[in-house]
């Protein structure tokens, strides 16, 4: 498990007054403001959300110290993090932070190794787990459903995957 969690990503600049498009990765997307200052991945920059308003499929955010379009453009695609201890503990069964899944071994129901979880994506129709295959090659993309991923064991460091087709 990592001690820092990615909770948002800045998109393109919005308008001329320094606002940015913001994708929130929190369970309640609007709760992004409740976590206090957000940090860049390397921890060298801190950002405070001064204002947040919903827009189509995203939020538009005004960040403290970002006052014009040029400053906003420099932040495009910047991922924002908080320390894990600022997040509530997971108490619901079958609920996970994406960061806890990254790095887990992915195996079939028969125990054959497929690779390691390298990312969790959401392209709009639900989460998809990306598995980097041992030995390289194209990653395996698996829907994060009970059918395709019937077992997750964080303590054992693995997930069981029932992919549609693992042959090449």
- Residue 103 forms part of a structural domain: yes
Same domain for 120 and 71: no
pLDDT, tens digit, 9 for 90 and up, residues 111-151? 889 999 999 887 767 889 999 998 888 999 999 998 999 99
**Quick one: pLDDT at residue 157?**
93
Same domain for 127 and 155: yes
Identify the domain containing residue 31 by its residue range.
4-85
Question: 109 and 162 in contact (C-beta within 8 Å)?
Answer: yes
- Residue 125 forms part of a structural domain: yes
**Quick one: pLDDT at residue 1?**
47
Residue 100 has phi, psi (to 5 degrees) of -75, -20
pLDDT, tens digit, 9 for 90 and up, residues 20-66? 999 998 888 899 999 999 999 898 999 999 999 999 889 999 999 99
Question: 96 and 90 in contact (C-beta within 8 Å)?
Answer: yes
- Cα-Cα-Cα-Cα dihedral sign, residues 146, 147, 149, 152: positive
Q: Band of the pLDDT at 2, cuts 50, 70, 90?
A: low
Token pair for 113? 């190794």
Kindly report the CATH number assigned to the domain that includes residue 135.
2.30.30.240
> pTM of the full predicted structure?
0.72
Q: Which of 85, 111, 135 is the last residue of a domain?
A: 85
Token pair for 159? 């997930």
Q: Which of 55, 85, 115 is the last residue of a domain?
A: 85
Count of domains observed in the chain = 2
Q: Which residues contact 163 (CB under 8 A, 6 or more apart)?
A: 108, 114, 140, 142, 148
Residue 102: Cβ within 10 Å count: 17
Q: Which of 85, 113, 147 is the last residue of a domain?
A: 85
């Amino acid at each position: 498990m990592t001690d820092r969690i990615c909770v948002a990503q800045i998109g393109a600049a919005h308008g001329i007054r320094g606002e940015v498009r913001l994708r929130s990765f929190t369970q309640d997307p609007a709760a992004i403001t409740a976590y206090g200052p957000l940090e860049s991945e390397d921890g060298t920059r801190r950002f405070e959300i001064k204002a947040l308003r919903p827009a189509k499929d995203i939020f538009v955010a005004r960040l403290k110290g970002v006052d014009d379009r040029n400053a906003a453009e420099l932040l495009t695609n910047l991922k924002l993090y908080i320390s894990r201890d600022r997040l509530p503990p997971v108490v619901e069964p079958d609920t996970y932070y994406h960061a806890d899944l990254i790095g887990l071994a992915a195996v079939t129901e028969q125990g054959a190794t497929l690779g390691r979880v390298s990312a969790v994506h959401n392209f709009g129709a639900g989460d998809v787990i990306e598995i980097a295959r041992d030995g390289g090659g194209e990653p395996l993309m698996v829907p994060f459903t009970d059918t395709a991923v019937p077992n997750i064991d964080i303590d054992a460091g693995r997930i069981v995957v029932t992919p549609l087709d693992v042959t090449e």
